[in-house]
A and B are shown apart, each in its own frame.
Chain A
Amino acid sequence: MRLRDTLENYLFVLPAVAIFTIFYILPFIWVFQFSFFDWDGISPAKVFIGFDNFKEILFQDPSWWRSMVNVSWITFIALTFQNALAFMLALACDREMKMKNFYRVIFFIPPVLSEMVVGMVWSFIISDVSGANIINRFLISIGLGQFAHNWLSDPNTALTTVAVIHSWKGFGWGFLLFLAGLQTIPRELYEAARVDGANAWEQFKNITIPLMIPVATMVVILTILGTMQSFVLIRGLVGGEFAGHTSVPVLRILASMQGSSRFGYACSQGITFGVLLVTISFIQNKVSQKVRQA
């Protein structure tokens, strides 16, 4: 009877465990295994080459490092521009007002739509041929017509344009989290500070900022992990790596797999990149713990 009971309990988790083992744990192990082989993914010829793939990534693959530099630039813009915008909007909404929910709904429209849709719509809006290029029309109307051009097909501006559109698509996440965080701060703290003669800036510096550090940490981690792994938006905007100008690590992994049929190398790139992501979020967590204790 006891045994039957336990078996019945296992039956409840069995479907989840089975799917998870086959489609998560097994591929997870395989990624590590494949990374030591030279293999095209299909043929039985699988050659063990030790750490050669990793050596190639680190020392002989400038296109990989270029994609790392590109994604770092996009992440930098997302961390500064996107999160500053999100925080300012959250501060602006953190008060008694009727339209608060309206803004909350509107700011989250870009995040719910797919990167492919957002990328393709923006690529049409800012492409030169169409009369719909509002950014260029705006520049011309304020007398800066010489700067009006196709932002995405110019190698000098393509990457930054991608980064700005990425930030536009993602700021709604940070906005919602910052606003939720701001609303948990007890209003009495501000009133007490006002009674003690603290001005708005002092209240902001001594109450808002310290109490927002946990939320800010979460937003920073989510921004880094999300931005570093994004690539569909780039395919939607410019169609691909644009001769390296807009290449990012996941697009490189995809190119190793689909373009040159080097499955082993693609897995090594995935691991190299995954280790970096886990390290970043680990360090970020430690640092914020230190800040919170201080």
Chain B
Amino acid sequence: MTTKIKTGAYYKTKNITLNVLIHLFLISVAVTCIYPFLWMFMSSFKTSESIFRDIALFPSHFHFENYVQAIRDGDFGRYFLNSLMYTVFVVMGIVIISSMAAYAFSRFQFPGKNAIFYVFLAAMMIPIPGSFVALYVLLNKLHLRDTPIGYILCMINVGLSTSIFMLKTFFDKMPKELEDAARIDGCSKLGIWWHVALPLSKPVLAVVVVFNALNVWNEYILALIIFDSPKYMPLQVALEKFRGEYFTNYPVLMAALTITALPIIILYILMQKHIIKGITQGAVVG
């Protein structure tokens, strides 16, 4: 009896030291994940002089004029709205187009169905690192280069394959009873897709929306080659241009970086369950 208690206590102390070590390891890594962005945020309230002297993370005085300067002189209000507009339109386009296609792939029969689906699937597997060169030529020919619509169409295409795949997987597992009932009531195919299938697929639509929103907001290379006019540029490309002009003014740059990063951090914190679920369920974004 006594030996039993002794071994129990022994394991407990050993587990406590082990637990402390494990948590120290985890916390130190967690700190490195947060510190750079906290530093970015705090530095955006300092001045050019105090950023060198004020080594403390928290500024002694909060200077909001860096944001005023980034928005007024750097035109970051416009870039923010550009990014927002591209994200909204691309995500809407992807949700409608990919859910229609995925619904057809899951429910309907038509010649060539499997062949078309496998072509979409193959596109997820084959990387073409030079595709932006050909896209540049294509958009030039279509007179869509340096236009928002050209960029939006390219970005819809980028998210299409994975979204179709995720939605089809979901539709395949979804029971058909409600759709059958709607058909008996005289609902058209389009009506069933819109009124029955889409509302039922909300859980997977949330994952599709979040992943594509992150992807469009963070996109860089296509925006770089498609846009010449600053008035159309999204944030990621504008940042690089802005750095060239404001290289010495760190706090204003940090304000511009915060304007770019903060919406993503907020979206991530609100939607983290969906994001983590999406990744762990099958590594959807490769």
Contacts and interface: CB of A to CB of B under 8 A. Distances in A.
Given A89-B29, A116-B239, A20 B134 contact: no
A265 B128 CA distance: 15
Nearest to B120: A20
Contact of B123 (A20, A129, A134, A267): A20
A contact patch SS: helix
Contacts, number: 245
A22 B153 CA distance: 10
20 contacts: A10-B110, A12-B104, A12-B193, A20-B119, A26-B138, A88-B25, A99-B23, A106-B30, A112-B275, A117-B257, A124-B254, A125-B39, A132-B43, A179-B280, A180-B280, A249-B129, A250-B129, A267-B133, A273-B130, A274-B129
A87 interface: no
B37 A109 contact: yes
Contacts of B123: 20, 24
Contact of A109 (B110, B156, B265): B265
Interface string B118-136: 0110010111111111111
Interface string B250-282: 100110010011001100110010011001100
A8 interface: yes
A126 to B, nearest CB: 10
Given A13-B104, A85-B29, A112-B275, A121 B116 contact: no
Given A13-B101, A24-B157, A277 B129 contact: yes
B283 A114 contact: no
Given A106-B34, A250-B129, A27 B100 contact: no
Contacts of A107: 29-30, 33
B209 to A, nearest CB: 14
Interface in B104-118: 104-105, 108-111, 116
Given A92-B22, A92-B26, A107-B30, A12 B101 contact: yes
Contacts of A146: none
Contact of A15 (B101, B108, B128, B131): B101
B203 interface: no
Interface in A21-55: 22-28, 30-31, 34, 41-42
Contacts of A180: 279-280
A257 B133 contact: yes
A125 B253 contact: no
Given A24-B123, A274-B128, 20 more contacts: A6-B110, A6-B111, A12-B189, A23-B135, A27-B128, A41-B136, A92-B26, A112-B264, A113-B218, A116-B239, A116-B260, A120-B253, A131-B55, A173-B279, A180-B279, A226-B286, A253-B130, A274-B126, A278-B126, A278-B127
A113 B138 contact: no
A12, A122, A225, A258, most chain B CB atoms within 10 A:
A12
Given A6-B110, A13-B104, A131 B53 contact: yes
Contacts of B101: 12-13, 15-17
Contacts of A103: 26, 30
A27 B134 contact: yes
Interface in B162-212: 164, 189, 193
A229 interface: yes
